[in-house]
Amino acid sequence: MTDMPGMADRAALAEDQGSTGLRGCDGATDTAAARQPVIMLIGEGHSGKSTVIQALTGQDYRPRKALAPVYFRNFVDTPGEFLENRRFYRSLITASMTCDILLFIQDATRSSCLLPPGFAAMFNRVVAGFVSKCDHEQANIARAEKFLRNAGVKTILHGALHTQGGADAVQAHLAALWREAGGRRRLRLRLRQDKPVA
């Protein structure tokens, strides 16, 4: 487990995974289609963020208690305190700048939600939601989905992550979101390049 990689680490990861050769208006190579998306998980404490990371990576991930984002492979695990205390919203926004997809985690067994209305609009990133603990006897999936929609989430995923099929389905949905977002960004960059200079 490594903590807080810098831009050099992100560049090395992209280089290891290959490059599309596409260049943006700033001359930087676009590697969106060639690398795994970096996914940041946002949720209350004990909402299931670590379980999601374990299921999607297939590795034994054990979070440590720290008031800072923890980087594990292509995932960023944010402390529950970042959502539970409004003073840390700026920290979430800052951490999201190094990520490609934000995944809001909502526990299906909870009768309340700390995600503020329209929270997704704060981030200039692809945002999706995941309903955790769907197989619990006290789970209320419809209520959890309502909480996520109220936070501005349009794409909501849920599944039995303890099964390989459930984890694969979530991975496939996230990959599709990433491909769609990457395509839109490349189109924007080409349009900006083609704009005549005054």
> Where in the chain are the domains?
34-179
User: Over the stretch 166-197, which tens digit does the pLDDT of each residue have?
Assistant: 888 888 888 888 888 774 443 333 333 444 44
Q: Please say whether the dihedral angle defined by the alpha carbons of residues 93, 96, 101 and 105, taken in this order, is positive or negative.
A: negative
Q: Which CATH number fits domain 34-179: 1.10.1530.10, 3.30.110.30, 3.10.129.10, 3.40.50.300?
A: 3.40.50.300
2-to-26, 71, 103 alpha-carbon distances in Å = 29, 6, 20
User: Over the stretch 71-83, which tens digit does the pLDDT of each residue have?
Assistant: 999 999 999 999 9
> What global pTM score does this model have?
0.74
